[in-house]
Amino acid sequence: MSMRMRKKRNFDARMEACGDLLLAKGANGILNMKEAAENYRALINFPAAFGNDNPVALEIGCGKGGFVIALAKTTPDVNYLALEKMSNVILTPMEEVKKQGVENVRFLNIRAECLPCYIPENSLDVIYLNFSTPLPKLGYATQRLTHRNFLEVYKKLLKKGGKIIQKTDDRDFFDFSLEEYKACGFALEEVSYNLHENGNPQWNIVTEYEQKWVERGLPIHRAVAKLSLEAD
């Protein structure tokens, strides 16, 4: 069997059945944020998309969505955007949100590189990066989701005082990320190299990948990087 995941059964019909939750799809040809920002604009109107004016948070690379769905249920007064590039993967949380009737989650089936096409500037309170694909530093640094090219875009999309909250098991990627946050003017508010040292903190929502790594005894790293409240 090939390495590629087989398409889920009745994929197209199932995607369509959740279509009202999907705010953006595709633009897969665009691989570069500069190109994305310059060539295409389809900014989402959040109050129209969610039916209210509540603050908006974004998870980049939501995978099967256990984190964002649990978080959305505990904080119904926050709206969540769950971004995932793989359509075969994003179908799972979309169906779950439908099934559970969670009202404050919408989906973006796009690459993170395309964010400037869809997200208005100065509009997000928090960006969650949970176990982003670490990618080797050598040769792939610019594709890491915490490379300064991405951080400069996140900075525009976040409100003043907005935060990035990152978790990863990869120490090299974590150290790289901390340097990038500092270089881009984020203040490191919380940094932990072993989040589960004394068991899972009661406030922490464990993601699918986190569960896997914790079971194997790997330390989980977490950082909160905050933008200043002052204008630049």
Using CB under 6 A as the criterion, which residues of the chain lie in contact with ligand SAM when the complex forms? 61-63, 83-86, 89, 111-112, 130-133, 207-210
Q: How far is the CB of 165 from ligand SAM (least distance, A)?
A: 12
The alpha carbon of residue 159 and the mean position of all alpha carbons in its chain are separated, in whole angstroms, by 16
Q: In what order do the strands lie in the sheet with 124-130?
A: 22-26, 105-110, 79-83, 56-60, 124-130, 158-168, 221-226, 187-192
What's the closest the beta carbon of residue 231 comes to ligand SAM, in angstroms? Answer: 29
Instruction: Decide whether 72 or 112 has the Cβ nearer to ligand SAM.
Output: 112
Nearer to ligand SAM, 63 or 162 (CB): 63
| Shortest separation between residue 230's beta carbon and ligand SAM, angstroms | 30
Cα–Cα distance for residue pair 13/3, rounded to 1 Å: 24
Classify burial at 224, counting beta carbons within 10 Å of its beta carbon; exposed 0-12, middle 13-18, buried 19 or more: middle
Q: How do beta strands 221-226 and 187-192 pair?
A: antiparallel
Minimal distance, residue 114 CB to ligand SAM, in Å: 8
User: Which CB sits closer to ligand SAM, 46 or 209?
Assistant: 209
In this complex, which beta carbon is closest to ligand SAM, that of residue 84 or of residue 180? 84
